[in-house]
Amino acid sequence: MQKDPYSLPPEEFYEHGDSYFLPHISIDCVIFGFHDNQLKVLLLEWKDSLRWSLPGGFILKDEDIDQAATTILLKRTGLEKIHLHQFHTFGDPNRDRKKHGINPPKGSNSKSWIMNRFITIGYWALVEHSKVTPTPDAFSRSCSWCEISEVPELILDHNLIIDTALESLRLQLNEYPVGFNLLPSKFTMPELQSLYETILGDKLDRRNFQKKILSLDILTRLNERKQGGAHKAPYLYRFDKKKYQKALKQGLSFGI
Amino acid sequence: MQKDPYSLPPEEFYEHGDSYFLPHISIDCVIFGFHDNQLKVLLLEWKDSLRWSLPGGFILKDEDIDQAATTILLKRTGLEKIHLHQFHTFGDPNRDRKKHGINPPKGSNSKSWIMNRFITIGYWALVEHSKVTPTPDAFSRSCSWCEISEVPELILDHNLIIDTALESLRLQLNEYPVGFNLLPSKFTMPELQSLYETILGDKLDRRNFQKKILSLDILTRLNERKQGGAHKAPYLYRFDKKKYQKALKQGLSFGI
DNA sequence: ACAAAAGTGTTAACCGTACACCCATGA
DNA sequence: TCATGGGTGTACGGTTAACACTTTTGT
């Protein structure tokens, strides 16, 4: 009972996983990244069915749910200390591989606990694309980024989960500067703007955007410009945590 | 398996409830009402321990979680067709009666499924105080309204659940006119303002508030005034669903 | 008559939005 | 030299926030 059940051989995992985990409850993570001016999510491809799904996992019988989500994120990305946001719990009784006509994963059979109905707790996380090492689990043949508008049909209700996560993210974006988590520590104003535009699905005015962001007084402009672009070199900025903490106390007002 | 497990005798419920319900998962409802210019929540008092808790329940093995929450609301208030809002899922591993030193409820023993760890899905609802018939369940000796600032220490993390619900409600208040659900069909502007002030915990300017609310064009002023008050009789208003639907299409902007 | 609540409108400050010109760079 | 993207400031309009007097009613 002490070892990590995820490292069990699949057969054992599917047969005895229910002695480690809470039954009927799972966690799914919508892990957002931003690269090439595109918003992406991390997806897993199942070994046997070639179908795609969100990275997910289960809750140890004595484990906190936030902790379980943190572990999933760590295993799939290599990242720690990332803020995970719990956004919704999905409890349609049809969340059941049997009812969706999904075959038991290789190594399991139709009586496996994994073939039961599951209620899943949805979390999203914003990660820096370049720091992620997408890592499949024992049951998947690949783990990779997928552009948000090109997500294929996923298993169960995972498409709905992504849509719901995106809505929740948009709401948060207007309240907190979550966007910075998606960028490298040094970034340019056009990059930040492009990120906001992608998440919000709308074009923004360059000058007003910059004015607004700078007025929050949470960025430091470096004496450096981003070289290598095809045109005029834009300034680099850094997110300033101290300023941010200070600004939070005085009440931040976003609303891009 | 067909009959309503909640109507089983307590002994049987505590011994065999786990054959009807998903194990380790519960639902708790924060039911808000507004009366005497005070925001209130509905609480249950346990028969044996005399301790208070939120009204809650469990999820049938093939039941939708929203449906389960709806049933809980109906049983405790007699109300149907009320919007329930799922706001957070609480998954601290210490959500466990044993770990909190809570004795098994009368009719159960320490081995009952109810003494296990539970993950609970939190919902809130806004109901019209006067329409509610607070109804205890088989395990509680009373069910009654409690003013929000006078909530006693509740079992497990139920105080945290109420606090979280209230935060979520405040956020919603700025997006949707949820407040109207708490008032009778005819209400006065001062009553509505008092409701907003209570939920937001802040005083508002009378004139600006009225201007704002009326500008949404979702209220009809009746040719009636509320009599019986000690002072000048205020007009009565009615929430106009047709106007509201129309306004929604054009994009409502709250922000009181 | 007076105290306490309700009805009503105007003004000033602020914020959001629209908009144009110059500069740097690579092709 | 030209096309493309980046840096910067101003002016207008709408929304929000502040604010005072009159009316009604019960005591």
Separation between the CA of A178 and the C1’ of D7 (whole angstroms): 25
Q: Which pLDDT does position B178 carry in this prediction?
A: 85
B92 min Cα distance to partner chain A (Å): 5
Q: Which candidate, A145, A120, A142, A160, places its Cα nearest to that of A39?
A: A145
Question: Which ranges of B86-204 does DSSP label H, i.e. alpha helix?
Answer: 158-173, 189-200
Which of B18, B20, B21, B25 to mutate: most A Cβ within 10 Å? B25
**pTM summary value:** 0.96
* Cβ-contact A33, A182 below 8 angstroms: yes
What's the distance, CA B206 to chain centroid? 28
pLDDT tens-digit profile of B163-210? 999 999 999 988 888 888 999 999 999 999 999 999 999 999 999 999
Q: How far is A2 from chain B (nearest CA, A)?
A: 17
Q: Which residue is nearest to nucleotide D17 (CA to C1')?
A: B208
In Å, how far are B24, B65, B69, B120 from B58, measured between CA atoms? 9, 9, 9, 9
Task: List beta partners, residue A38.
Answer: A35
Which residues have a Cβ under 8 Å from the Cβ of A7 and sit 6 or more positions away? A138
A150 by Cβ neighbours in 10 Å (0-12 / 13-18 / 19+) ranks as exposed
CA distances from B212 to B209, B217, B248, B253 (A): 5, 9, 16, 10
Q: Which of A24, A88, A93 sits opposite B63 (nearest CB)?
A: A93
Q: For residue B3, what pLDDT is reported?
A: 73
- Measure B228 CA to C13 C1' (Å): 41
User: Which tens digits make up the pLDDT trace of B75-97?
Assistant: 999 999 999 999 999 999 999 99
Q: How confident is the model at residue A1 (pLDDT cuts 50, 70, 90)?
A: very low
Q: What count of CB pairs under 8 Å joins A to B?
A: 57
* Beta-carbon separation of B22 and A61 below 8 A: no
